[in-house]
């Protein structure tokens, strides 16, 4: 069960960010923003040649006291960041990976919408619902 899911554009501004406990939104924003450094680091750590065949899933970006932050980068350098409650031990790497894959699929659907202007904030209800389902449902 994710606590916060964010989609970050290539230029590192948020396309979509939603967190489950809405009262503490600011904290998650900071957390996601800071995680971008780690994402950058992970991407740049890979050699140029490896970039093509690299895996999109970046794994655990960093843990904090209460949360774990996972990352995923699409080939177009759009970043997905997921914050997960660290007390939730049911979530293993594989589950996170599949959640990211779902997110990616849904994101692709949004991009396919001819009325969506790339670079705008995502305001798709379908995407919303999918994100909500990932935040609520225990994978």
Partner 1 sequence: MAQCVQSVQELIPDSFVPCVAALCSDEAERLTRLNHLSFAELLKPFSRLTSEVHMRDPNNQLHIIKNLKIAVSNIITQPPQPGAIRKLLNDVVSGSQPAEGLVANVITAGDYDLNISATTPWFESYRETFLQSMPASDHEFLNHYLACMLVASSSEAEPVEQFSKLSHEQHRIQHNSDYSYPKWFIPNTLKYYVLLHDVSAGDEQRAESIYEEMKQKYGTQGCYLLKINSRASNRASDEQIPDPWSQYLQKNSIQNQDSYEDGPCTITSNKNSDSNLLSLDGLDNEVKDGLPNNFRAHPLQLDQPSDPSNSIDGTDHVKPASSLHETKKGNTGIIHGACLTLTDHDRIRQFIQEFTFRGLLPHIEKTIRQLNDQLMSRKGLSRSLFSATKKWFSGSKVPEKSINELKNTSGLLYPPEAPELQIRKMADLCFLVQHYDLAYSCYHTAKKDFLNDQAMLYAAGALEMAAVSAFLQPGAPRPYPAHYMDTAIQTYRDICKNMVLAERCVLLSAEILKSQSKYSEAAALLIRLTSEDSDLRSALLLEQAAHCFINMKSPMVRKYAFHMILAGHRFSKAGQKKHALRCYCQAMQVYKGKGWSLAEDHINFTIGRQSYTLRQLDNAVSAFRHILINESKQSAAQQGAFLREYLYVYKNVSQLSPDGPLPQLPLPYINSSATRVFFGHDRRPADGEKQAATHVSLDQEYDSESSQQWRELEEQVVAVVNKGIIPSNFHPTQYCLNSYSDNSRFPLAVVEEPITVEVAFRNPLKVPLLLTDLSLLWKFQPKAFSGKDNEEVKELVTSQSAMIGTEVISEFLINCEESKVARLKLFPHHIGELHILGVVYNLGTIQGSMTVDGIGALPGCHTGKYSLSMSVRGRQDLEIQGPRLNNTKEEKTSVKYGPDRRLDPIITEEMPLLEVFFIHFPTGLLCGEIRKAYVEFVNVSKCPLAGLKVVSKRPEFFTFGGNTAVLTPLSPSASENCSAYKTVVTDSTSMCTALVSSASSVDFGIGIESQPEVIPVPLPDSVLKPGASVQLPMWLRGPDEEGVHEINFLFYYESVKKQPKIRHRILRHTAVICTSRSLNVRATVCRSNSLEDEEGRGGNMLVFVDVENTNTSEAGVKEFHIVQISSSSKHWKLQKSVNLSENKDAKLASREKGKFCFKALRCKEKEAATQTSEKYTFADIIFGNEQIISSASPCADFFYRSLSSELKKTQAQLSVYAEKQSTEDAVRLIQKCNEVDLNIIVLWKAYVVEDNKQLILEGQHHVILRTVGKEAFSYPQKQDPPEMELLKFFRSENTTVSSRPSVEQLSNLIKTSLHYPESFNHPFHQKSLCLVPVTLLLSNCSKADVDVIVDLRHKTTSPEALEIHGSFTWLGQTQYKLQLKSQEIHSLQLKACFVHTGVYNLGTPRVFAKLSDQVTVFETSQQNSMPALIIINNV
| Contact pick of 1, 2, 5, 11 for partner 1 (by CB under 8 A) | 11
Give the nearest distance from C-beta 117 to partner 1 in angstroms.
15
Angstrom distances, CA of residue 51 to CA of 42, 54, 59: 11, 5, 16
Distances (CA, A) of 83 to 27, 70, 111: 11, 6, 23
Distance CA 107, CA 56 (A): 14
Nearer to partner 1, 40 or 93 (CB): 40
CB-based contact 80:103 (threshold 8 Å): yes
25 binds partner 1 (CB under 8 A): yes
- Minimum CB separation from partner 1 for residue 121, in Å? 8
| Residue window 35-74: x/- pattern of binding to partner 1, with contact defined by CB under 8 A | xxxx-xx--x------------------------------
Q: Which is nearer to partner 1, 1 or 9 (CB)?
A: 9
**CA–CA distances in Å: residue 116 to residues 15, 36, 70, 78:** 12, 25, 27, 16
Q: Report the residue from 1, 2, 7, 12 that binds partner 1 according to the rule CB under 8 A.
A: 12
CA 57/CA 46 separation, integer angstroms: 13
Q: Which residues bind partner 1 (CB under 8 A)?
A: 11-14, 25-26, 29-30, 33-38, 40-41, 44
């Amino acid at each position: 069960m994710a606590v916060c899911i964010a989609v970050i554009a290539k230029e590192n501004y948020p396309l979509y960010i939603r967190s489950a406990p809405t009262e503490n939104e600011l904290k998650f924003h900071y957390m996601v923003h800071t995680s971008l450094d780690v994402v950058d680091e992970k991407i740049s750590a890979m050699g140029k040649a490896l970039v093509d065949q690299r895996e999109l899933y970046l794994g655990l970006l960093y843990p904090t006291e209460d949360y774990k932050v996972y990352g995923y980068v699409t080939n177009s350098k759009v970043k997905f960041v997921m914050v997960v409650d660290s007390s939730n031990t049911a979530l293993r790497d594989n589950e996170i990976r599949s959640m990211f894959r779902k997110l990616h699929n849904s994101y692709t659907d949004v991009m396919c919408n001819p009325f969506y202007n790339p670079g705008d904030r995502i305001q798709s209800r379908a995407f919303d619902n999918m994100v909500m389902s990932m935040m609520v449902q225990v994978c």
